[in-house]
Structure 1
């Protein structure tokens, strides 16, 4: 309190004043007494100061949990429509380019049949399928597989099929094929089986009864080689599969002749399984379109299926082809069972 602090100060001043009078001993005594009072005043003032408040602070350390993002792993399957080793080489190049573009981990394979890719996508064992046209139609109907891209050859996303014979065989028309040996590619091949059968039926030939023998060669290349070698009298391929074996058979364009061509068929596809996340689908689509514009990408696509480019399409792109199949009596729903 102010009153308590002022009283010793006044007393000290009085004592100091008293020192001026009196004898030496008295002056010395009073001087030390005054000094003692001053020191006591300082201590009293210090004791009167408030005690600093100690603030206790609790520090909460938050632990940051880092959730490691799992890499996207995909399986990409190719149908065996050409030379298997070439498809593997080109497919692996596309795989590498896709991994670089997307950061995904991709495993590539070439199936043993067209149907194997369809079934793998239906079972979730293949995420991306390079499906032929009819294979896609069936996979969409059966498993909800969706097309994201169509291939481009000769500047267009359409192609035609052809029926070929040896030039020296004497066979000139489709009607001449009765009683002959016929080479097919695969039961799910669009131009190597489905459409040629429609063409033959229109010409009055029953493809199940009017041939002496039928052979499933497994690829378009193999059909051309079988006809060239005389193992089959005729065969069905896309236009113009003869070019794919010209390096090994330089005279194939002269030795093997075309006797009929099909109407236009929408080109083969890059398709994805039903439940693939939309963001993954978009990433794959965007990456493939970009890859198709690079020199390295063009080379890989050409090696796979003689592809020049890729174009974005949706399922409606194949509606016209569905109508053709329906008019020919091909029941997709029945085949999908």
Structure 2
């Protein structure tokens, strides 16, 4: 790490050259804005991202709200910003299958399931809770695997290693009956079509958090640069591709409290 560099931890949807290039562009533009180098810490999984933040290897991190709330390692982290997508700082979780797989939850009995990580809101906790609330007996699932990213959930289902998967989804206007704009199973590299079996209620969107020992002036500069970058003609495109954000808002701690209760309920399943 270069002397005086700010470190930014991320766990991208896919770990490929295209995503790495976008992250490099984001960090380069932020460095130009702040006047200090910004270096990425690319984590292979949410758990590895938590380790990087907790150890101070990453001074800032793009994290799911449940990772922040449920990981004891991140108890002292400071939430700074919430991602805004389609005008709202919330999104949804879906359970999906390939178009030639189960078409309904009833048909998913015995299905092998792919999830992101045990701490993932949209990639594990919420889709399982949604299935249970719709009357699906979770003990009727087949083998369950964790594949460490949303893109890998999509890949596992399309490649036949799992029959169903849980991931995030964003709909136009936040309406699950509206146009699907983005989801973990949508990627040009995936061959096939998906069928959504269940959709959750709204979930608090991903957060930008800071290590507590990061100086206040650095936190302010980093947050301000990110808020400007999302509206920058050059920076907005990679920000949307990596973080999926069209804007950033201050964190709603009331929404975090609601999600904490939801996550606790999901963990009991």
| TM band (smaller chain) | 0.7 to 0.9
- 1:1-337 equivalent positions in 2, closer than 5 A: 72-139=4-71, 142-173=74-105, 175-205=106-136, 207=138, 209-239=139-169, 240-241=182-183, 244-245=186-187, 247-249=188-190, 252=192, 255-313=193-251, 315-326=253-264, 328=265, 330=267
- Distance across 1 between alignment mates of 2:100 and 2:140: 22
TM-score (norm 2): 0.85
8 Å CA contact 2:68–2:74 kept in 1: the answer is no
Q: Deviations over 1:197-232 (max 9, x none)?
A: 22233345554x432211222222222233233331
8 Å CA contact 1:88–1:304 kept in 2: the answer is no
| SS state at 2:235 partner | helix
Q: Deviations over 1:121-172 (max 9, x none)?
A: 1111110101112112235774311111111222211100000012232441
| SS state at 1:107 partner | strand
How far did residue 305 of structure 1 move? Answer: 2.9
- Distance across 2 between alignment mates of 1:139 and 1:266: 17
- Distance across 2 between alignment mates of 1:158 and 1:126: 25
- Distance across 2 between alignment mates of 1:101 and 1:314: 26
8 Å CA contact 1:122–1:139 kept in 2: the answer is no
Aligned-residue RMSD, C-alpha: 2.4
Structure 1, 129-138 or 315-324: larger mean CA deviation: 315-324
8 Å CA contact 1:140–1:146 kept in 2: the answer is no
The 1:197–1:242 alpha-carbon spacing in structure 2 relative to 1, beyond 3 Å, is closer
- Distance across 1 between alignment mates of 2:228 and 2:29: 10
8 Å CA contact 2:10–2:63 kept in 1: the answer is yes
The 1:312–1:140 alpha-carbon spacing in structure 2 relative to 1, beyond 3 Å, is farther
| SS state at 1:296 partner | coil
TM-score (norm 1): 0.69
- Distance across 1 between alignment mates of 2:114 and 2:12: 16
Higher relative contact order (CA 8 A, sep 6+): 2
The 1:86–1:315 alpha-carbon spacing in structure 2 relative to 1, beyond 3 Å, is farther
Greater strand content:
2
| Alignment size in residue pairs | 255
The 1:139–1:205 alpha-carbon spacing in structure 2 relative to 1, beyond 3 Å, is same
What 5-or-longer segments of structure 1 have no aligned partner? 1-69, 332-337
What 5-or-longer segments of structure 2 have no aligned partner? 170-181
- Distance across 1 between alignment mates of 2:39 and 2:238: 16
8 Å CA contact 1:166–1:256 kept in 2: the answer is yes
